[in-house]
Amino acid sequence: MTPSAGFLAHNWGFAIFLLGVAGLCAFMLLLSSILGSKAWGRAKNEPFESGMLPVGSARLRLSAKFYLVAMLFVIFDIEALFLFAWSVSVRESGWAGFAEAFIFIAILLAGLVYLWRVGALDWAPEGRRKRQAKLKQ
C-alpha cells in the first residue's frame, strides 16, 4: 500500500465528517432561503427585543475607563483560569510548580500595583477627587 493510500484509509472517517458538515450547512442555507420571508418594509429593519420598541439612539458614548475595566476583568479571569488548572495538578507539579505559580501571581500583582499607582483604577476625574479631598479635611 502506498503512503498516500494509507493516509486516506486512515482518515476516511474525518473526510466523511467534513463532507457531512458541508452538506448540512448547505442544506440549512438553502432551506432558509426557500422557506424564509421575502417581505420588506420599514418595520422589518427596526430592532425589536423583549416585546418593546426601541426608544432613543443605540449610540451611547462610554468612557474609556469602562474598556479598561473590561480588559482588567479579562486578564484576571485568565489568571484565575491558569491558577485553577495549577490547583488541579498541584501535587504532580510539586515545589517547582508552586514556585512558578508564585512568580506568576507576583508578576500580575506587580502589574496591578503599577496600574493603581498610575491612577488607571481611579474612576473620579482629578478635579472631583481634589474637591472630595478638601471636603474631608
Kindly state whether residue 10 falls inside one of the protein's structural domains: yes
3-class secondary structure, 49? strand
Q: How far apart are CA 78 and CA 107, in angstroms?
A: 14
Rg, Å, the chain Cα set? 28
Segment holding 125, helix H or strand E: none
pTM of the model: 0.46
Number of domains in the chain: 2
Whether the CB-CB separation of 88 and 131 falls below 8 Å is answered with no
Burial class (CB in 10 A: 0-12, 13-18, 19+), 91: exposed
Clarify whether residues 87 and 132 are in a common domain.
yes
Q: Are residues 72 and 123 in the same domain?
A: yes
pLDDT in tens, 79-91: 888 888 888 888 8
pLDDT tens readout for residues 68-121: 778 788 878 888 888 888 888 888 988 998 999 999 889 888 888 887 787 777
Domain that holds residue 14: 3-34
Contact 122, 129 (CB under 8 A): yes
Question: What pairs with residue 52 in β-bridges?
Answer: 49
The CATH number given to whatever domain includes residue 101 is: 1.20.58.1610
